[in-house]
Amino acid sequence: MKTPEPHILVIFGASGDLTKRKLIPALFELYAQKLLPEKFAVLGVSRTEISDQVFRDKMGEFLPASSQNNPAIAQFKETLFYQSLNTSDATDYPRLKARLEILGNELSIPANFIFYLSTPPQMYPVIPRILAEAGLNDVSQGFRRLIIEKPFGTDLASARELNRNLLSFYKEEQLYRIDHYLGKETVQNMLVTRFSNGIFEPIWNHNFIHHIEITSAETLGVEDRGGYYDHSGALRDMVQNHLMQLVGYVAMEPPVVIEANAIRNEMLKVFQSMRPIREADVASQVFRGQYTQSHIGNELIPGYREEKEVDPQSRTETYVAFKFFIDNFRWAGVPFYIRTGKKLPTRVTEVVIYFKTTPHHLFQYQSDLEPVNNQLVLRIQPDEGVLLKIGMKVPGAGFKVQNMNMDFHYTELSGTYLPSAYSRLLLDCMQGDATLYSRSDAVEKAWEYVQPILDAWQNNPDIPIYGYPAGTWGPESVENMIEDGSWRKPCKNLSHDGEYCEL
């Protein structure tokens, strides 16, 4: 594996939850695996006035408890430094520039910098501009890369404005728009499953596939994010970014090479080929829901409108499901179905490929309730793996058929290092590999697709928002959405799927 060049990683918003719970543990994971460069430092930046040592102690609290006596933790913490800064004040940035020069000289690190914006989205146009004004976007002395967390805008207009701002000061190849879903091994494995197996690629098209279903379900509600979520909703929070990326991976054409621009070009073509949903058709094509008060076991679960910081009259969706088509040669006529929601029966993200049935039905299924389609389940989380459902003869007289499972689980790869999503994505950025990061044109195209839905909900108050009891699979009106079939009811367990269901 290519070792990254020596550099300093600057994390804006170093006192925030993302830094403590995700970024620092991910960096320690890379350090423990000896994947970081020998000359490397992290400079945390935030408003709070604290010392390097206090910052190291605070970050150490979020490193694995099982490793606290490991000498590697003490060594890793020595790479952490801190700089207090008013991030919205341009006059403060010369101090940041001076500190970077001092660290570079003391640690013999060349002027290679990665800036990570672990900040509220309103700072995305501000910090990059001031960095550029301070000369910290200049690549003549070393690389300068900027990592930006989602959301990349809140609608099409704001996404375009954000891209215009960023591209005024940085080249596209300097920008890394991070989506942690793409850092998951199981997402990347979709490309390998498709393009390295001669049994799948020839049948990955409208001639053999009946429909494709993408589910991302959560058991949690909005927790302490009611104020944020009530201005976001499931469409913005999950569909426009995470689930659209999954669509791209499932539906893309084979790239010429496994390289950033080649893969991202094919992703963009998928988004360009998605049949638009017109604003006038949203009411009949897109279903939204909101979880209501319900008992789960012996516990009374409050409804969404009863959550803290949520408007009691809120029409923000906690569930969304819709059907769409990709109008190209490969996918002509194949329906795709997406659903995502909160307070559903289990936490699961998966893509299910439903293959067409054989043209002549010779055999009888053991149960009339069993589907006759072969299914390929690509499980993103949890119990990560791949499941293929095929028909097999029931032992005994006659030719009765029942579905059987052929499965693979990532847990079977014992002794193999499986990086966390943030570890993988951070390492890719350090290596200058943008394959798993979103490009500006694809971000805008994804927003362009969902914007008519947002507009319809905004402009037409008569479009219903259906209630569904917390702990169920969503509104009843969605149950009959899939023609000639029904939504799969996934369980936490991929092993023994169909035999028992663990929630």
Catalytic residues: 242
Tokens of 150: 């989602």
What is each CA distance from 469 to 33, 65, 113, 502, in whole angstroms?
Answer: 45, 38, 49, 20
| DSSP E strand boundaries for 186-274 | 209-217
Classified as helix, coil or strand, 205 is: coil
Asked if 72 and 108 touch (Cβ cutoff 8 Å), the reply is no
What is each CA distance from 424 to 251, 394, 437, 446, in whole angstroms?
Answer: 23, 44, 11, 24
Task: State the SS3 of 385-446.
Answer: EEEEEEEEECCCCCCEEEEEEEEEEHHHCCCCCCCCHHHHHHHHHHCCCCCCCECHHHHHHH
Q: Which residues of 153-167 are buried (b: 16+ CB within 10 A; e: fewer)?
A: bbbbeebbebbeebe
Asked if 269 and 253 touch (Cβ cutoff 8 Å), the reply is yes
Query: What is the C-alpha to C-alpha distance for residues 321 and 335, in angstroms, rounded to an integer?
Result: 13
**CA nearest to 96, candidates 115, 110, 124:** 115
| Cβ burial, residue 92 (10 Å; 0-12/13-18/19+) | middle
Tokens of 420: 């966390």
> What contacts 413, CB < 8 A, 6 or more positions away?
none
Query: What is the C-alpha to C-alpha distance for residues 472 and 294, in angstroms, rounded to an integer?
Result: 9
